[in-house]
Structure 1
Amino acid sequence: MSNTLPGIPRLVYETIRAPRRTAEYILALDIPRRNLWEALVAAVLLTVVLVVGLVLAVPADPTDPASVAMQEMYARPIPVAIGQLISSVVTVYAITFLGQWLGGRGTLDGALALVAWHQFFLLFMALAGMALGLVLPAVLSMLLIAMIVLYFFVLTQFVCALHGFENAMVVFFGIIIAFLTLLVLVAVLTGFISALFFGVTP
């Protein structure tokens, strides 16, 4: 990859094709921390707007409790956005300090840059998946599985690039454990915020 900033489509493509090399490129840009935080917040908010819009655009199936619960949750976008922001911030610090604790050389700014781009990358992939799903609705379930696989694959390679880890499998399982812990934490915090400020429970 060249030293000049590539276009967004090229960067998305390179993230799929060579995520570790893309991570090294992003780290070399040395973007100021303030801009990285702004990018992360923007990516999270855009993602929440997209997801909330999609969920509320499709009427809930009254016979499906999960569908009804999802509609009720995303009908309150502010707690959802707060929960996603908390999740992203915790992810940045977890990647930084857990990686350092395990002998990695990564920095907070590096983790912030990679998590911010990872969030934007997933947003672009979701938009592409939606467009493809409109043309070929039958592949939506396969696209969802592919998105989940891509999420963890790219994040694993990013963490390896950040900290200089070589064993991607060990990193992957570490991410899974941290991810499950984070899910519980965010669910508790989001429920607390909803009850405190909105008088509702998720």
Structure 2
Amino acid sequence: MDLSLSSLLSLARFTVQNPREGARMVMGANLPMAARWVALALMAVTSAILAHLAFALMPAEARSAMDGAMSSPLTSAVMQGGLMLIAVFVMHAVGRWRGGTGRFEDALILMIWLQFILLILQVVQIVTQVLLPPASVLVGYVSVGIFLWLLSNFVAELHGFSSVLMTFLGVLVTLLVIGFALALLLIPFVGPMV
């Protein structure tokens, strides 16, 4: 697999257009496990840097509202890496529970690849935020749509599921259950929202 930036960008564009084929190509690269862990760390660090850059470009009132969440790029990178790793475990375990055949190492590389594509969209959103601030919200909505589209196709390809629509519904249910569970866990720390 050619890891030059131009090749990765071409493969990212191809993946958005043909997600299952793109997922097959990424899994077929057979990168060593050590390279996958390094790539996960690189994605987490890059994502944290871009998030802090976007944060710095926000108006002062928006920054003050989010100040606690963006205290340190290192903390953001650790949190991002942890969330990506949890997502890999969920993608692998829930898919296997539903009869899928995916391997953990393939779930890992697909999550890294998904994050790479999201980073490209994050750069587009930052540029839009500078040049045409109102349009950056639209880019954010498009990014969420692309995320769900790619995640559903990646999970379907990883586990050999034939229906992307049923996989998408499974992804939504899983996200809702995780969100509900996190809310229950956080209530003792932040108190009920009244």
TM-score per shorter chain, which class? 0.7 to 0.9
Question: So what's the TM-score if we normalise by structure 1?
Answer: 0.80
Match of 2:146 among 146, 150, 153: 150
Letter in 2 for 1:26: V
Letter in 2 for 1:45: V
Whole-angstrom CA distance in 2 between matches of 1:55 and 1:132: 14
Q: CA deviation at 1:41?
A: 1.2
Whole-angstrom CA distance in 1 between matches of 2:60 and 2:134: 20
The answer on 1:44 being equivalent to 2:40 is no
Whole-angstrom CA distance in 1 between matches of 2:36 and 2:119: 17
8 Å contact 2:50–2:122 — kept in the other structure? no
8 Å contact 1:19–1:157 — kept in the other structure? yes
Partner residue, 1:53: 53
For structure 1, list consecutive stretches of 5 or more residues without a partner in the other structure: 193-202
Partner residue, 1:96: 92
For structure 2, list consecutive stretches of 5 or more residues without a partner in the other structure: 190-194
Instruction: Output aligned runs, 1:1-202, within 5 Å.
Output: 7-61=7-61, 68-183=64-179
Whole-angstrom CA distance in 1 between matches of 2:175 and 2:74: 22
Is the alpha carbon distance of 1:82 and 1:184 closer, same or farther for their aligned partners in structure 2, counting shifts above 3 Å?
A: farther
Q: Residues 66-87 of structure 1: CA distance to partner in whole angstroms, max 9, x if unpaired?
A: x533122102334332222221
Percent identical pairs in the alignment equals 26
Question: So what's the TM-score if we normalise by structure 2?
Answer: 0.83
Letter in 2 for 1:22: G
Letter in 2 for 1:88: M
Q: Per the alignment, in what secondary structure is the counterpart of residue 7 of structure 1?
A: helix
Is the alpha carbon distance of 1:113 and 1:79 closer, same or farther for their aligned partners in structure 2, counting shifts above 3 Å?
A: same
Whole-angstrom CA distance in 1 between matches of 2:91 and 2:133: 36
Whole-angstrom CA distance in 1 between matches of 2:41 and 2:113: 11
What is the root-mean-square deviation in Å for CA atoms of aligned residues? 2.6
Is the alpha carbon distance of 1:79 and 1:37 closer, same or farther for their aligned partners in structure 2, counting shifts above 3 Å?
A: same
Q: Per the alignment, in what secondary structure is the counterpart of residue 66 of structure 2?
A: helix
Whole-angstrom CA distance in 2 between matches of 1:56 and 1:75: 12
Whole-angstrom CA distance in 2 between matches of 1:7 and 1:94: 29
Is the alpha carbon distance of 1:184 and 1:60 closer, same or farther for their aligned partners in structure 2, counting shifts above 3 Å?
A: farther
Whole-angstrom CA distance in 2 between matches of 1:183 and 1:124: 26
Letter in 1 for 2:168: F
Whole-angstrom CA distance in 1 between matches of 2:31 and 2:71: 35
Q: Per the alignment, in what secondary structure is the counterpart of residue 161 of structure 2?
A: coil
Deviates more, 1:74-83 or 1:140-149: 74-83
